[in-house]
Amino acid sequence: MDARIAGLVLVLLASCSSAVDEPVAVVEALNSEACQLPAETPMAITIADAIADPAAFNGRLVSLEGYYCAAFEMNALYETPDCYSKPELGLWLGGMSPFYSSRGRRVSVTGIFDSRLQGHLEKWPAGICTAKLVEL
Cα–Cα distance, 83 to 98 (Å, whole number): 18
pLDDT digits (tens, 9 = 90+) for 99-124: 787 778 999 999 999 999 998 898 99
Element counts in the chain: helices (H) and strands (E): 2, 6
To which CATH superfamily is domain 22-135 assigned? Nucleic acid-binding proteins (2.40.50.140)
How far lies 79's CA from each of 1, 54, 75, in Å?
60, 16, 14
pLDDT digits (tens, 9 = 90+) for 53-104: 999 999 999 999 999 998 888 899 999 988 777 999 999 999 998 778 777 8
The structure's pTM equals 0.79
Closest-CA residue to 101 (of 80, 73, 63, 71): 71
Domain ranges of the chain: 22-135
